[in-house]
A = this chain, B = another copy of it.
Amino acid sequence: MDAKEKVGRYEFVAEPFHVDFAGRLTMGVLGNHLLNCAGFHAADRGFGIAVLNENHYTWVLSRLAVEMTDMPRAYEKFSIETWVENVYRLFTDRNFAVLNAEGKPIGYARSVWAMISMETRKPADLFLLHGDEITSYICADKPCPIAKAGRVKVGDAQQVAEYHTRYSDIDLNGHVNSIKYIEHILDLFPLEMYREKTLHRFEVAYAAESHYGDVLGFYREQKSENEYDIEVRKNGTETAIRSKVVFE
């Protein structure tokens, strides 16, 4: 199998209601496109969510790290490439490149996925998926020149926001939508922050699922001038997600 078949490429336009006040595509919308591309790429190669669901398995996003040098502007075309970098027994690494209208990379992303049983919610063995077919799509030589997601450890951070989950937060699995978390985290910063600085890197690690009615507490710790670690705890105790936001 050649590299072309291993790498999927999908075209987009930055829609006018998908950009922020400065006319830049929002990280939440970009995150949604990345997850859709993962879905298209997997489905086209026989290990998409529809096929998995038939066998009572599903993909679960465990981590996502996105690093951008630029963002598509309103009405601009851009494309996203995605490929599988590695497959382990319980996880797979999927990478992304975001290309501007001229085909020049303006950012990259790394994601980590697990396949879980829809009944037990426990991880399943990826090497048993379709007779190990997923490993034939591994494309280890395509560069993804950004760091993997690091450890986020929020110490005695103060709670900076509290959020009661609402109808629009809940996805078709009954959980708080992965994309909505990105929006809520970026909303912890005032508009002025986005006027003065650029969102350079965004990391999120999903630890536990939240549901409708859960109260999310957002804890933030400033690590350096432009770097913030954020932990979201549900109902006062359990960590739902950890995130890192880096401006420049």
Contact = CB atoms under 8 A, between A and B. Distances in A.
Interface of A: 15-23, 26, 28, 32, 35-36, 39, 49-50, 74-75, 166-168, 170-172, 174, 177-179, 183, 186-187, 189-191, 194, 212-213
B171 A191 contact: no
A203 B136 CA distance: 51
Nearest to A26: B168
Which 5 A-B pairs rank lowest in CB-CB distance, beginning with the nearest? A166-B187, A21-B170, A23-B172, A191-B212, A168-B183
A191 B166 CA distance: 7
Given A36-B16, A39-B16, A168-B26, A21 B174 contact: yes
A35 B16 CA distance: 9
A180 to B, nearest CB: 9
A172 B22 contact: yes
Contacts of A15: 32, 36
A36 B16 CA distance: 8
Given A20-B167, A21-B167, 19 more contacts: A15-B32, A15-B36, A16-B36, A16-B39, A17-B36, A17-B171, A17-B178, A20-B170, A20-B171, A21-B212, A22-B172, A23-B172, A28-B168, A74-B172, A166-B187, A167-B191, A168-B183, A168-B186, A191-B213
A21 B194 CA distance: 31
A170 B191 CA distance: 9
Contact of A171 (B21, B32, B179, B183): B21
A82 to B, nearest CB: 16
Nearest to A15: B36
* Most chain B beta-carbon contacts within 10 A, residue among A17, A35, A75: A17
A192 to B, nearest CB: 9
* Most chain B beta-carbon contacts within 10 A, residue among A26, A35, A39, A191: A191
A186 B168 CA distance: 8
B171 A190 contact: no
Contacts of A22: 172
21 contacts: A15-B36, A16-B35, A16-B36, A16-B171, A16-B172, A17-B32, A17-B36, A17-B177, A17-B178, A20-B168, A20-B170, A20-B172, A21-B167, A21-B212, A22-B172, A74-B172, A167-B187, A167-B189, A168-B183, A170-B191, A191-B213
